[in-house]
């Protein structure tokens, strides 16, 4: 008989399931890390994201801004109903409600905006941009973020697709009396892990995030991070994605970085800020991403040697060098510049 899975266990499975699945046939693969500005990159690897950065690159090629390019690319990814990790079609929280987090940062003006736990808005990254450009605040959350979005003309609509609702309903049916939130993942007792129905795990263990970063022809840098966060999260839970310095950081003098993975780890490590500061000291984007992974891993090793988190970082510098790295290996990002669309692979810490 299939045993049921505590909800905490869902949180640690299937990391990267939302990174993008359908690899484009015919797209070149690189391990080199050099591109040329203008350039746009994303942590996603699926067809929609490739279309997104291609559209973003058209803006850059026409002399448009990095900010417009990353917003265009992210919007295309956010409205994809097939992407369970971002925007419309994202997996709901434990109450069956889709709550989205997003942030934007403009390296030219040293300005930033974010929304967290916003409901019923398809393009949270564009609301974040409005927060950045039309207010003196950096972050709006929940009801306030929704009211602000509506006042700015964003339509309110249901974001829960049938597929996401069915997966959530299946998870809810499989609750057991052992189902609990539990202590922080890295302090959890690993004893007693149960066998669970892989189909149930697959159906609900979706999380992921998109990072889109760009340098334009004027040398200005911008970035966006957007996510629906963890499926089955506690209503109101906010991850790293809308936290400037955690899920995203941009500095025109250096470059930009973004994070995918367990937001709780990334928030505590200030990972995107860490990566940009390492690049400032002269590390390549890939080295800086590895350094940020090491910092998380070393700290957890002290309290639980068996625990391995699952972060994935992407970065680019003002010269157009790009890089990525992942805790568990298989790091890959999509890149578009005048040399065309391609993947760049990165190292894993393990
Ligand atoms: N970073 C996201 C969050 O913690 C989730 C993910 O990327 O998997 O909300």
pLDDT in tens, 107-131: 999 999 999 999 999 999 999 999 9
* Atom number in ligand 1 closest to CA 16: 8
Phi and psi at residue 249, to the nearest 5°: -155, 140
- 1 pLDDT above the threshold of 90: no
Residue recorded with tokens 């004027």: 218
The pTM of the whole model exceeds 0.85: yes
- Range list of β-strands (E), 242-285: 248-251, 255-260
Does any ligand 1 atom lie closer than 6 A to the CB of residue 91? no
Average model confidence (pLDDT) across the chain: 86
Does any ligand 1 atom lie closer than 6 A to the CB of residue 230? yes
- Give Cα 259 to chain centroid, integer Å: 6
Q: Which pLDDT band, with edges at 50, 70 and 90, does 288 fall under?
A: very high
Phi and psi at residue 91, to the nearest 5°: -70, 140
Active-site residue, selected from the candidate residues 42, 74, 161, 209:
209
Query: For residue range 55-103, what is the model confidence (pLDDT) as tens digits?
Result: 999 999 999 999 999 999 999 999 999 999 999 999 999 999 999 999 9
Query: For residue range 16-68, what is the model confidence (pLDDT) as tens digits?
Result: 333 322 234 444 444 446 778 899 999 999 999 999 999 999 999 999 999 99
pLDDT recorded at residue 195? 52
The reply to whether 34 belongs to the active site is no
Rounded to whole angstroms, how far apart are CA atoms 214 and 250?
Answer: 10
Residue nearest to atom 4 of ligand 1 (CA): 263
Domain 38-159+202-346 of CATH type 3.30.465.10: no
Rounded to whole angstroms, how far apart are CA atoms 66 and 233?
Answer: 32
Query: For residue range 298-331, what is the model confidence (pLDDT) as tens digits?
Result: 999 889 888 888 899 999 999 999 999 999 888 9
pLDDT recorded at residue 187? 81
């Amino acid at each position: 008989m299939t045993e049921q899975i505590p909800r905490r266990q869902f949180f640690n499975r299937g990391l990267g399931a939302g990174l993008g699945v359908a690899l484009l046939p015919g797209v070149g693969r690189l391990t080199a890390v050099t591109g040329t500005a203008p350039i746009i990159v994303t942590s996603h690897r699926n067809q929609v994201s490739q279309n997104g950065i291609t559209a973003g690159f058209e803006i850059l090629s026409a002399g448009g801004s990095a900010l417009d390019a990353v917003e265009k690319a992210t919007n295309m990814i956010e409205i994809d109903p097939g992407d369970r990790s971002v925007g419309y079609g994202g997996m709901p929280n434990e109450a069956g409600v889709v709550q989205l987090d997003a942030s934007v940062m403009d390296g030219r003006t040293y300005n930033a905006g974010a929304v967290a736990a916003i409901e019923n808005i398809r393009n949270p990254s564009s609301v974040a941009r409005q927060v950045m450009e039309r207010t003196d605040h950096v972050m709006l959350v929940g009801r306030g973020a929704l009211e602000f979005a509506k006042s700015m003309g964003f339509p309110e609509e249901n974001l829960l697709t049938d597929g996401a609702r069915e997966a959530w309903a299946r998870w809810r049916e499989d609750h057991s009396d052992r189902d609990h939130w539990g202590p922080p993942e890295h302090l959890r007792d690993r004893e007693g892990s149960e066998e669970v129905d892989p189909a149930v795990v697959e159906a609900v263990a979706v999380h992921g995030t998109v990072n889109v970063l760009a340098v334009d022809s004027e040398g200005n840098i911008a970035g966006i991070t957007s996510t629906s966060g963890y499926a089955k999260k506690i209503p109101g839970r906010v991850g790293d994605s809308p936290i400037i310095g955690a899920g995203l950081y941009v500095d025109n003098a250096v470059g930009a970085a973004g994070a995918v993975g367990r937001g709780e780890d990334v928030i505590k490590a200030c990972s995107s800020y860490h990566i940009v500061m390492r690049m400032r000291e002269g590390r390549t984007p890939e080295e800086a991403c590895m350094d940020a992974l090491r910092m998380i891993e070393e700290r957890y090793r002290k309290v639980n040697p068996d625990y391995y988190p699952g972060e994935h970082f992407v970065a680019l510098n003002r010269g157009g060098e790009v890089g990525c790295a992942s805790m568990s290996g298989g790091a890959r990002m999509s890149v578009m510049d005048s040399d065309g669309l391609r993947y760049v692979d990165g190292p894993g810490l393990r």
